[in-house]
Amino acid sequence: MLLDRDPAHAFMPYPAVPVPHAPAGPLSGLTFAAKDLFDVTGYPTSAGSPHMLAMSGIKTRTALTVQKLLDAGARLVGKTITDELAFSMSGKNAHFGTPVNGGAPDRIPGGSSSGSAAAVSNGLCDFALGTDTGGSVRAPANHCGLFGIRPTHARVSLELCHDLAPSFDTCGYFTRDGATFERVGAVLLGEDTTPLPQKPRVLLARDAIGLLHAEVRDALAPARRRAVAVLGEPDEVDVATEGFTALYWAMRYIQSREAWTVDGPMIERYHPPLGPGVADRFEFSRAVTDSQVAEAQVIRAAFRKRFSALLDGAVLILPTMPDIAPLLTESDESLNDYRNNALNLLCLSVLSGLPQVSIPLASRSGAPLGLSIMGPAGSDLGLVRLARRIAESA
């Protein structure tokens, strides 16, 4: 870590090695952190696992996405803690600890990009890289009161980044303010391949909002009104006509099979001690059958075709998460229940491959609560700019 202090326990405690960056560029003057899934020359990569850290060695190449930010003038200040093997959403790492949620210190930061969200929400850097496979940027953004994006699948390079489930893995980032969010997006995302229309159709995910408890809907209502004031009156639509349960299981089966393909050989060979929840998820992954995966792939393909058509030329408004972050004192069982409920919302972007931006617009019980917008594949930067406009609207 290149910072002198880490009061948020956001960073891996690596000995500092200078990482060169361009003296000038579009991100000059900004500091950033990288989730410890990305390789950086001079540092190991732990993937949140002591065993992976022991096997890592010091890297001699830097991930393409990290290098792009360095070349744009941003300064790297450290590598951040991630949930173990990125296969969790709580932000609690049994081996390296729990980073502090800067938006609600008594609550979980969310994972698996927990350290990155903690670093930004506690003001330790201007922006941070995370990855989002099943929700690992959107959940921490919601919990910590940050802007966060899960880009169009494959929009941002994950070369020299540890995989979890490659057909779902994406590289996103966090910021505290809309101006920085747009500034970083212009570099990281590049120009849109599918620009949003000047006046896109506006949709409201009626069935997704219906999953929320009344008090959460009420807390989000002012944020929805702000979004509508900028975007225009929406048409209410049901986004999960297949049923959220079917989409949830399609995502679980595909993610689990891919996670076992990536990490299963290491787990079976070395039997590393895995933290609570993570061990259970890998046991589930080991048992997923070929027929379950095949059925899930059929559901994903049909959903992706239908949902992509629905969002063609449109912006969708939906909740980011089912609620504010759970308290740190919640049981593992309660956290797992929250995770499973959250996946019903998070799976829409995952299965479709479409971009989603979470905007820090609301709060409940003194804790942050996000509202999301989604758009067509390749409309990422347009969504980032819309998010800024909504956040800065009166």
pLDDT tens digit string along 105-114?
999 999 999 9
Domain hosting residue 70, numbered range: 31-188
* 310 and 223 both lie in a single domain: yes
- Distance, CA of 276 to CA of 321 (rounded, Å): 22
* 56 and 104 both lie in a single domain: yes
Per-residue pLDDT, 1? 53
Beta bridge partners of residue 360, listed in sequence order: 370
Per-residue pLDDT, 359? 98
Among residues 63, 80, 89, the alpha carbon closest in space to that of 127 is found at: 80
- The mean per-residue pLDDT over the stretch 63-75 comes to 98
- The mean per-residue pLDDT over the stretch 22-35 comes to 98
- The mean per-residue pLDDT over the stretch 128-139 comes to 98
pLDDT greater than 80 at residue 2? no
Tell me the per-residue pLDDT of 238-292, one tens digit each, with 9 for 90 and over.
Answer: 999 999 999 999 999 999 999 999 999 999 999 999 998 999 999 999 999 999 9
- Distance, CA of 195 to CA of 228 (rounded, Å): 20
Report helix, strand or coil for 273.
coil
- Distance, CA of 370 to CA of 248 (rounded, Å): 21
Burial group, residue 15, by CB count within 10 angstroms (0-12, 13-18, 19+): exposed
Per-residue pLDDT, 50? 98
Task: Assign 96 a pLDDT band (cuts: 50, 70, 90).
Answer: very high
- Any domain includes 10: no
Tell me the per-residue pLDDT of 336-362, one tens digit each, with 9 for 90 and over.
Answer: 999 999 999 999 999 999 999 999 999
- Any domain includes 381: yes
Q: Look at residues 131, 154, 188 and tell me which one is the last residue of a structural domain.
A: 188
* 206 and 148 both lie in a single domain: no
Report the mean per-residue pLDDT for the chain.
97
Residues 6+ apart with CB under 8 A from 278: 83, 84, 85, 87, 88, 94
Per-residue pLDDT, 144? 98
Among residues 88, 93, 117, 125, the alpha carbon closest in space to that of 368 is found at: 117
- Distance, CA of 319 to CA of 371 (rounded, Å): 5
- Any domain includes 120: yes
* 113 and 254 both lie in a single domain: no
* 171 and 294 both lie in a single domain: no
- Any domain includes 113: yes
Among residues 146, 84, 88, 81, the alpha carbon closest in space to that of 114 is found at: 81
* 115 and 211 both lie in a single domain: no
Which one of the listed residues 35, 49, 113, 379 is annotated catalytic?
35
**Three-point CA angle 177, 343, 360, nearest 5°:** 15
- Any domain includes 211: yes
Tell me the per-residue pLDDT of 174-227, one tens digit each, with 9 for 90 and over.
Answer: 999 999 999 999 999 999 999 999 999 999 999 999 999 999 999 999 999 999
Structural contact between residues 1 and 77, judged by C-beta atoms closer than 8 angstroms: yes
Per-residue pLDDT, 4? 73
- The mean per-residue pLDDT over the stretch 156-162 comes to 98
Is 0.75 surpassed by the pTM of this model?
yes
Which one of the listed residues 46, 49, 90, 112 is annotated catalytic?
112
* 180 and 272 both lie in a single domain: no
Instruction: Please give the DSSP secondary-structure letter assigned to residue 382.
Output: H
Does the annotation mark 90 as catalytic? Answer: no
**Neighbour count for residue 279 (Cβ, 10 Å):** 16
Does the annotation mark 35 as catalytic? Answer: yes
* 164 and 210 both lie in a single domain: no
* 205 and 183 both lie in a single domain: no
Q: Look at residues 130, 163, 188 and tell me which one is the last residue of a structural domain.
A: 188
Q: Name the amino acid, one letter, at 108.
A: I
- Any domain includes 183: yes
* 311 and 178 both lie in a single domain: no
Number of domains in the chain: 2
Per-residue pLDDT, 193? 97
- Any domain includes 42: yes
Structural contact between residues 326 and 108, judged by C-beta atoms closer than 8 angstroms: yes
Helices (H), the chain: 50-56, 64-71, 114-121, 138-144, 178-188, 206-209, 214-231, 244-270, 278-287, 290-310, 332-352, 380-392
* 184 and 205 both lie in a single domain: no
CATH of the domain at 80: 3.90.1300.10
Which one of the listed residues 49, 113, 116, 136 is annotated catalytic?
136
- Any domain includes 18: no
Q: Look at residues 188, 216, 241 and tell me which one is the last residue of a structural domain.
A: 188
Q: Name the amino acid, one letter, at 388.
A: R
Dihedral angle over CA of 212, 218, 222, 228, nearest 10: 50
Per-residue pLDDT, 5? 86
Structural contact between residues 22 and 71, judged by C-beta atoms closer than 8 angstroms: yes
Does the annotation mark 349 as catalytic? Answer: no
